[in-house]
Amino acid sequence: MQAFEIYCPRCGWRPSAQDRWQCTPQCATVWNTFWTRGLCPGCGMQWHETQCLGCQRHSPHQHWYHVPESSEGQREDSREPVTAD
């Protein structure tokens, strides 16, 4: 399973485990949206945009997930050359 860094694609703010979002105006459940990749555990609403608690702007939820640069390098380095026998 690949690890992602989670931060606002607009300002770089990083949410902590204690941060919470509210499912508004749907069911008012309060939870950390990154625990469920934007899926409300209360009503099942799939949020496609997430508001940054730092800059207050909205961005597509998927744009918050970033592959760490060190992981990108490891992926390339771990590829085995294919040889013909």
* Average pLDDT, integer, range 6-15: 98
> Does residue 55 belong to any structural domain of this protein?
yes
Does residue 78 fall inside a structural domain? no
Within-domain flag for 15:
no
- Give the structural domain span for 63: 5-10+21-71
**Quick one: pLDDT band at residue 76, thresholds 50, 70, 90?**
very low
How do residues 15-49 score in pLDDT, each as one tens digit? 999 999 999 999 999 999 999 999 999 999 999 99
Q: Model confidence at 71, in pLDDT bands (50, 70, 90)?
A: low
Asked if residue 40 belongs to a domain, the reply is yes
Query: Does the pTM exceed 0.85?
Result: no
Q: How many domains does the chain have?
A: 1
Tell me if 35 is assigned to some domain. yes
| Three-state helix/strand/coil letters over the chain | CCCCEECCCCCCCCCCCCCCEECCCCCCCEECHHHCCCECCCCCCECCEEECCCCCCEEEHHHHEECCHHHHHHHHHCCCCCCCC
